[in-house]
Structure 1
């Protein structure tokens, strides 16, 4: 299932750790604090647990992180402006990007 993950974290160090965890889970950064990942139940649960533990260490009152489940077909029909990315690459439907 495709997930849109976005966060607002004040600490540079914590924000970098969140980004690292998301990248290791196979998520792709589409904006500075927005990632997309094709996550399955086990990997989703593990990732959410790791992120929750990280955010609970020295919690900041305004920090937040959201997971939004997005249907694959809706994600494939995403309207984009500015720098574009191919959502098929994120969802594993395409393996190669030809420039």
Structure 2
């Protein structure tokens, strides 16, 4: 299973902290405020507690987690110059050669 994490966070310091933490936890950024990964964020207690604490500092901020199947991920419509490596994003490839 894959997970999309996306947010609407106003304060720069909170938004930057959330983004850096998601990257550090192995999530891949697919848009400025959208990440994907194969780990359910709620299952990582330390991560989830930090996210809850940081977002509580700004009541207008929101973060969403949606489970998506690998098939849904592969079939998403894309407009623009972004062509993700779906094998890598879905967790079926563990090494990315650049």
Measured against the shorter chain, the TM-score band is: 0.7 to 0.9
Instruction: Tell me what 1:93 maps to.
Output: 92
Matched pairs, number: 95
Partner-residue secondary structure (3-state), 1:29: strand
Point out 4+ residue stretches in structure 1 off by more than 4 angstroms.
Answer: none
CA–CA distance in 1 between the matches of 2:74 and 2:47? 23
The TM-score, its normalising length taken from structure 2, stands at 0.82
Aligned ranges 1:35-74 → 2 under 5 Å: 35-40=35-40, 42-43=43-44, 45-56=45-56, 59-74=57-72
CA-based RMSD: 1.8
CA–CA distance in 1 between the matches of 2:7 and 2:43? 21
Listed as ranges, the gaps of 5+ residues in structure 1 are none
C-alpha displacement at 1:48, in angstroms?
Answer: 2.1
The TM-score, its normalising length taken from structure 1, stands at 0.82
Listed as ranges, the gaps of 5+ residues in structure 2 are none
